[in-house]
């Protein structure tokens, strides 16, 4: 774990899949509809990415059915930055500008309360 605070709406995905695979899932399916089932079919794009066992685990964590997967790019940017990715590399991966990434990273810093 990178120690990056996980937003509540992404928590079920990260809990079920772990940070790295959860982020890969969000990058692959974020913003689109998916169908999760506790009895998935082998031809499902979710099963192709995760395998049958993890697809079932995700369906149990998030809930079975059809729904839109959240995008989660600000969290993903913070995750990659904690792994020492450059801002430009993050921007390329997330298909956004470096200015957008800097804004997300700065926004995360300003929410932190001062300890002094």
Give the DSSP letter string of 2-66: --PPPPTTTHHHHHHH-HHHHHHHHHHHTTSEEEE-SS--TT-HHHHHH-HHHHHHHHHHH-SEE
pTM: 0.86
Asked, for residue 4, whether it belongs to a domain, the answer is no
64 and 77 housed in the same domain: no
- Is residue 114 helix, strand or coil? coil
Q: What is the pLDDT of residue 27?
A: 97
pLDDT in tens, 54-102: 999 999 999 999 999 999 999 999 999 999 999 999 999 999 999 999 9
Q: What are the beta bridge partners of residue 34?
A: 67
Please identify which residue in the block is written with the tokens 């990715």: 85
Q: Are residues 59 and 77 in the same domain?
A: no
Neighbours of 76 (CB within 10 A): 23
Quickly count: other Cβ atoms within 10 Å of residue 83's Cβ: 12
Asked if residue 5 belongs to a domain, the reply is no
**Length of the chain (residues):** 116
Provide the residue range defining the domain that includes 88.
Answer: 73-110
Are residues 16 and 33 part of one domain? yes
Tell me what pLDDT residue 112 has. 55
Please compute, for residue 99, the number of CA atoms within 13 A of its CA located in the half-sphere on the CB side: 0
């Amino acid at each position: 774990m990178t120690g990056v605070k996980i937003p509540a709406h992404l928590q079920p995905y990260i809990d079920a899949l772990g940070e790295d695979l959860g982020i890969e899932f969000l990058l692959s399916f974020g913003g689109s509809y998916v169908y999760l089932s506790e009895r998935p079919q082998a031809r499902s794009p979710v099963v192709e990415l995760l395998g049958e066992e993890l697809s079932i685990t995700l369906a149990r964590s998030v809930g079975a059915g059809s729904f839109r997967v959240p995008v989660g790019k600000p969290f993903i940017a913070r995750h990659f930055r904690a792994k020492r990715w450059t801002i430009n590399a993050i921007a390329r991966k997330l298909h956004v500008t470096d200015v957008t990434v800097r804004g997300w990273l700065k926004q995360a810093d300003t929410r932190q309360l001062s300890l002094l």
